[in-house]
Amino acid sequence: MKRLHARVALITGAGMGIGRAVALRFAEEGALLALIDRDAEALHATAEAARGLGARVIAVVADATEAAAADGLASSALDAFGRIDLLVNNVGGGKPGRIWELSVDDWDEVMRLNLRSTFLFTRAVVPHMIERRSGRIVCLSSGARNGTIWNSYYAGASAYSTAKAGIHGFVRDMAIELAEHQVTINAVAPGPIDTELAGPYLRRMDEAGLPYAPSLMTPLGRLGTPREVADAVLFLASDESSYITGITLDVLGGR
Ligand SMILES: NC(=O)c1ccc[n+]([C@@H]2O[C@H](COP(=O)([O-])OP(=O)(O)OC[C@H]3O[C@@H](n4cnc5c(N)ncnc54)[C@H](O)[C@@H]3O)[C@@H](O)[C@H]2O)c1
């Protein structure tokens, strides 16, 4: 039996990177997918790849920081599949800049992308999960929740680190709110991951031999892969994690 056989999963930011890897990993394990991304071409490529693995997929192009997008994806998933079992709050990202370079708009955008989207999608699915007394939510935090050595040293990542610490706090509190309803919520905190967008930036620091380069700061001595993160998300979305809620699972290569 596949680990997510016939489970319905909502995944935000599924077009590229970790979100795409999670969508394909879930498809391999038998999930039905409701995907959202603002990049239509990337989203449709993920949807096609997931269908190629046998998954039924709905794909919605929209901005995941808008309440209408969250509510709309939840109701489309319910219309198409009849229930929602899993939510992966994957959308997120940062704006590099030291504090004196960071505009108010940049700061707000980072909070919006990481925290507002996580709040909106969680709020959209939770009433349904509570009613069914079943559900798993996984959010993407980051090793940056404890500070990002390489980013802080070269570019400044205070907004990103603040937002990712916020995800950890959100998960801690939501776990308590949702526990009596048998819904679990956890986070995964990746280290430097070789995604389409972040990978080239991280590798440039490695190749320049900089003393704070990501791979040098990581005991396992290399960047992680999107699939390695997806495997951790899969564990927290599966029955194997049934007595785990409110944690942030580090996928940091040992740091
Ligand atoms: N890549 C890393 O090294 C790394 C490390 C730690 C944590 N993370 C976290 O993991 C998650 C995924 O990271 P990634 O590097 O794969 O992401 P990414 O920047 O590659 O983006 C993934 C997808 O999200 C979509 N997206 C961005 N903003 C959106 C919006 N407002 N609405 C809808 N879609 C949107 C993009 O189009 C893209 O397809 C994020 O929360 C990120 O902060 C990543």
Residue 199 lies in a domain: no
Half-sphere exposure of 231 (CA within 13 A, CB side): 7
> Which atom number of ligand 1 is nearest to the Cα of residue 113?
31
Residue 160 a catalytic site member: yes
Residue 111 lies in a domain: yes
* pTM of the predicted protein model: 0.98
CA 195 to chain centre: 13
CA of 103 to the centre of ligand 1 (A): 21
- Residue 148: the pLDDT is 84
Residue 220 lies in a domain: no
Residue stretches of the chain with pLDDT short of 70: none
Number of domain units in the chain:
1
Residue 208 lies in a domain: no
Beta bridge partners of 61: 37
The edge-to-edge listing of strands for the beta sheet with 8-12 is 57-61, 32-37, 8-12, 86-89, 135-140, 183-190, 248-251
> Using one digit for the tens of pLDDT, what is the confidence trace for 63-76?
999 999 999 999 99
Residue 215 lies in a domain: no
24: helix, strand or coil? helix
Nearest to 29 by CA among 252, 233, 249: 233
- Residue 132: the pLDDT is 98
Q: Alpha carbon of 25 to those of 46, 120, 130, 189, 226: distances in Å?
A: 11, 24, 26, 18, 10
- Residue 139: the pLDDT is 99
CA of 13 to the centre of ligand 1 (A): 6
- Residue 173: the pLDDT is 98
CATH number (domain holding residue 242): 3.40.50.720
Domain boundaries, position 31: 8-193+225-250
CA of 131 to the centre of ligand 1 (A): 30
Cβ of 15 less than 6 Å from ligand 1: yes
> Which atom number of ligand 1 is nearest to the Cα of residue 197?
20
- Residue 254: the pLDDT is 94
- Residue 210: the pLDDT is 84
Residue 17 lies in a domain: yes
Cβ of 140 less than 6 Å from ligand 1: yes
- Residue 61: the pLDDT is 98
